[in-house]
Amino acid sequence: MSTRLQRLRNIGISAHIDSGKTTLTERMLYYCGRIHAMHDVRGADGHGATMDSDPIERKRGITIQSAVTSVDWNGHTFQVIDTPGHVDFTVEVERSLRVLDGAVLVLCSVGGVQSQSLTVDRQMRRYGVPRVAFINKMDRIGANPNRVIDQMRERLNCNVALLQLPIGLEDHFEGIVDLVTMQAVYFDGEFGQRVRRECIPTNMLAEAEAARGELLEVLSLADEELLEVVLAGKPPTVDQVRASIRQSTIAHRVTPVLMGTAFKNKGVQELLDAVAYYLPSPLDRQVWAIDLSKRVEAGAAPAKQLLTSDVNSPLVAMAFKTTVDRFGPLTFVRVYQGRINRGEAYLNTRTGKRHRFPRLVRIHANNHVDIDAADAGDLLGVVGLDCAQGDTFVSAGCNVAMENILVAEPVMRLSIQAQRHEDSDKLAKALERFRRQDPTFHYGVNQESGEMEIAGMGQLHLDVYIERIREEHECAVYVGRPQVAYKERPTRDVEFEYRLKKQTGGPGQFAHIVGRLEVLPEDSEVDFEFQDKVVGGQIDRAFLPTIRESFQDALSCGPLGQFPIVGVRIVLTDGEQHEKDSSEFAFRQCVQEAMRHVILPRAGLELLEPVMQLEVEVPSEYQGGVAGNLARKRGVVKASTVIDGNCRIEAEVPFAELLDYANEIRSLTQGKGTFTMTPNGYRATPKRVQDDVLAHAGMNHQLA
């Protein structure tokens, strides 16, 4: 088995905003010898941190795109996938979670477990990603690692394995006691680069002994081998303890906790050691792909195939991020099985097209190093490859796809227009590029106004793209007011029969259709279904694709507010055609008229609105005000918990009520509240709201 793979760690670093993720990442790169100077994140030198390679990210001080960087530490290679922190970019988070094997969860020693950590934690559980936690900012006033650990137990349900104790706190934080080796560890030099190991200070010995006892207890409960050693009365060796922590971390039985301060350069090297010791290598994880060679009945789970890391197996690799940099298209790929070779051609299982992989590179922020091959478990960049994110590439003899990443539907849209007519092409190119990179970004022409519209996951999501259009693509644009992405849905089945018969001088037009519109169940995975139950050759089969398409087209723009119609099954049961006067045109016309005049007016259409899962976190004195505000927003509070003077409210709230929530929560809580929201499906709107929305609607919302 390859030792490189055993020593490889594909990791992500996740954190609530402002916990110090960027600072920590940069310190890690520095100690691994990848960068030779450190600048603060929003430092005065204007360079920003190395991982945020996008100028807009630097300006906003948030990390949006998942860059990959590779560093060496103590004989190990870490490939750090930069997971975005802001929840408007959930798809990017989900995608990066699919490709990493382990993660570092950064928590602030004062802020503790905050709303974004909760959201990301839930995603990590779904993808089975083991973690180590790092309590950062131990130098800050109010630092309280014990409280953070309690929150991890209560709110994240972690079985905490505390590996360190702090030596001093706040201004007096000097270093840590390592409970595995039972040594004190200090970080000397201007950048804490010299690690000094000493005896534990005598005044901390008793505390350290007790904490080690607790650590061994937690570990023994999760690991029988260690339990036997402990029960035999022998003190376990350092290697035995490390092996036990590793095994239980990978099995999700414990979460190791370390601490330090990235900003003051203390504790980061210990964290790097912990990544090597305790987080899984690609070989420690089982990866399944969807077997495309087996047909699956509608609604059944797809057949799966276990992948192997054997380099002689057929290649399976997934493109998890496509970008364009100064060298042209650059695609980030994870190899899941076999070996990828420069110059070879592989099949894209989504498109059925073969692509040659001309150039393979390893990436460190903006630098590329050419490589000839990469094995299962590795991450790499492919230069000059044309594909979409999430595409799977395989070699001959293999027909699988990596699981599809959950993609949420857009909840917000707005119109966009180039200020100068001659920039229209530039705008169109930029929009197409974004759509290929991000499946939650949509665009299309509004059929009624002829204006271009973009749609996505929220204000910040769309703002970032608008800024990129202006800055990267140098295209000045006008943007319209944000609109909620409503939908329309029938509530009643409708039997229909419609005959088109026109005789206007020249050749006539004739078409006749009979059938039923049925309401699909609310949990249906498709928006539209078409069943052909015409017997006896009443309608020429050649017309059926046109009929199906015409029904589908008619659903793009509903009669209530010109929103798309969903939840429709059309069952065609009968019909008739005329030898001379029937044509595709006639059937198209017939379906359009039938829908407009007969079917939709009788289908009892209702308006659906996107609903968000909202998590608000505020100091408890604001609980009443925030809950009252949510009630006025038609929100349904699901849970409300108070811990240590902080209140967390979970609620389901219509997105339409949350368009300005960032400002509202700021003024309700004097800037002390934070929140996250994730799309949570569509619900019917109450009549009063529906009337109000429809009074203001008037556009067609057809989007790509």
Residues lying near ligand GDP in the complex (CB under 6 A): 15, 17-23, 40-41, 136-137, 139-140, 261-264
Q: Considering the complex, state which of residue 64 and residue 307 has its C-beta at the smaller distance from ligand GDP.
A: 64
Smallest distance, Å, CB 48 to ligand GDP? 10
Question: What is the rounded distance in angstroms from the CA atom of residue 402 to the CA atom of residue 347?
Answer: 13
* DSSP string computed for 585-622: HHHHHHHHHIIIIIIGGGS--EEEEEEEEEEEEEEGGG
431-438 long-range contacts (CB < 8 A, ≥24 apart) are 431/469, 433/324, 434/465, 434/468, 435/704, 436/322, 436/388, 436/389, 437/321, 437/322, 437/323, 437/389, 438/91, 438/92, 438/389
Closest residue by beta carbon to ligand GDP:
20
Q: Considering the complex, state which of residue 27 and residue 468 has its C-beta at the smaller distance from ligand GDP.
A: 27
Smallest distance, Å, CB 137 to ligand GDP? 4
Q: Considering the complex, state which of residue 139 and residue 378 has its C-beta at the smaller distance from ligand GDP.
A: 139
Q: Which residues contact 292 (CB under 8 A, 6 or more apart)?
A: 349, 399, 400, 401
State which H helix or E strand residue 437 sits in. Answer: helix 424-437
Q: Considering the complex, state which of residue 120 and residue 250 has its C-beta at the smaller distance from ligand GDP.
A: 120
Question: What is the rounded distance in angstroms from the CA atom of residue 568 to the CA atom of residue 440?
Answer: 23
**Cβ–Cβ < 8 Å for 459, 410:** no
**C-alpha 222, offset from chain centre:** 31
Q: Considering the complex, state which of residue 136 and residue 509 has its C-beta at the smaller distance from ligand GDP.
A: 136
**Cβ–Cβ < 8 Å for 92, 66:** yes
3-state DSSP percent of the chain in helix, strand and coil, to 5 = 30, 30, 40
Task: Write down the H helix ranges in 652-686.
Answer: 661-668
**Cβ–Cβ < 8 Å for 334, 381:** no
Question: What is the rounded distance in angstroms from the CA atom of residue 66 to the CA atom of residue 441?
Answer: 16
Q: Considering the complex, state which of residue 39 and residue 426 has its C-beta at the smaller distance from ligand GDP.
A: 39
Smallest distance, Å, CB 493 to ligand GDP? 52
Smallest distance, Å, CB 254 to ligand GDP? 25
Smallest distance, Å, CB 264 to ligand GDP? 6
Smallest distance, Å, CB 81 to ligand GDP? 15
Q: Considering the complex, state which of residue 70 and residue 265 has its C-beta at the smaller distance from ligand GDP.
A: 265
* Helix pair 238-250, 268-278: axis angle to 10 deg: 70
Smallest distance, Å, CB 191 to ligand GDP? 13
Structure tokens of 188?
């000397």
Q: Considering the complex, state which of residue 123 and residue 623 has its C-beta at the smaller distance from ligand GDP.
A: 123
Residue that has been written with the tokens 């420690």 in this structure: 284
Q: Considering the complex, state which of residue 16 and residue 433 has its C-beta at the smaller distance from ligand GDP.
A: 16
Smallest distance, Å, CB 59 to ligand GDP? 13
Smallest distance, Å, CB 62 to ligand GDP? 7
